[in-house]
Structure 1
Amino acid sequence: MQAEVKWVEDFKFLGQSQSGHSVVMDGNGGATAPSPMEMVLMAAGGCSSVDVVDGLKSAGQKVASVNAKLTTERRETAPRIFTQVNIHFEVSGEALDPEIVAKVAADSLEKYCSVCLMLGEGVEMTHSWEIV
């Protein structure tokens, strides 16, 4: 996998993926676009949500929606890395089995989500879930 990030102006950068997609990032605290740290957080939410949806569908669950809400704690001094990330999954659907929802959420963070597994090497990764 490859990517390229080009400086545009001020603290604004344009990232281009190998698959041909572009995203703007703002290193000035996210004033005009997501900051790089916000992008990391959204990547964890996106990656784990794919696993949850796929896991629920594979288990025969009639999932209608999945919303991942992520919260973090960061170091106070530079580098201001994440020290803790929690992903709370809000899942809705028809007659969802709570045991299956719990299992696919846990499996995502512990077995399948590449982003979360990389972050988990240096960050406390936790999760929670609810059927809404």
Structure 2
Amino acid sequence: MSEVIVKWEGNMKFVGIDEAGRQVAMDASQIYGGMNQGVRPMELLLMALGGCSGIELAHILKKMRVQFDSLLIEVEGKRAEDHPKVFENINIVYKLTGPNLPPEKIYHALKLTDEKYCSVSNMVNKAAAISYAFELNGTRFVYPAREE
């Protein structure tokens, strides 16, 4: 079981603390009285999605012996207009650089990441449609939407 605590730091600032003591500051936007002293919780969700899928993708590529020089993950979420303003659509683009990056292996690793191994994407996908693409040294490839 995972456990974290979230501690109020005053005003609209909170700090999330994991079991190892690592901390993440969160704050509300100024319209809610925040002071821009932390990440917005919904942004943190997008970061968690990018982090989880990035870890899984890198791990699978390592097992496939696919080496890359850099990996940048762009995650963009479109929220509903009405409360609770959940994410309706999320787009993720994985940008890899390096020599000899085989698109078919990257595609296969991304498919495993999306459909099987990334817990965050599998949980978020129940509430929001997630679309994927990847770029290899600047060339874009589209990953098809998950079939339900």
Q: Does 1:54 align with 2:55?
A: no
Q: Does 1:124 align with 2:129?
A: yes
Number of paired residues? Answer: 132
- Scaled by the length of structure 1, the TM-score of the pair is 0.94
Q: How big is the shift at 1:18?
A: 1.3
Q: How big is the shift at 1:9?
A: 1.2
Q: Does 1:91 align with 2:96?
A: yes
Cα displacement string for residues 62-115 of structure 1 (whole angstroms, at most 9, x for unaligned residues): 111111001111001110110111110001122011101111122211111011
The letter of the residue matching 1:69 is E
- Aligned partners of 1:78, 1:102: CA distance in 2, in Å? 36
Higher RCO (CA-CA < 8 Å; seq separation 6+):
1
Larger radius of gyration between Structure 1 and Structure 2? 2
Say what the alpha-carbon RMSD is for the aligned residues. 1.3
- Scaled by the length of structure 2, the TM-score of the pair is 0.85
Would you say the 8 A contact 1:106–1:127 is kept in 2? Answer: no
Counterpart of 1:86 in 2: which secondary structure? strand
Counterpart of 1:106 in 2: which secondary structure? helix
Per the alignment, residue 64 of structure 1 pairs with 69
Deviates more, 1:63-72 or 1:26-35: 26-35
Would you say the 8 A contact 1:88–1:127 is kept in 2? Answer: yes
Per the alignment, residue 26 of structure 1 pairs with 27
Deviates more, 1:26-35 or 1:120-129: 26-35
The letter of the residue matching 1:117 is N
The letter of the residue matching 1:14 is V
Q: How big is the shift at 1:55?
A: 1.3
Gaps of 5+ in 2: 138-148
Gaps of 5+ in 1: none
Misfit runs of 4+, over 6 Å:
none
- Aligned partners of 1:52, 1:130: CA distance in 2, in Å? 14
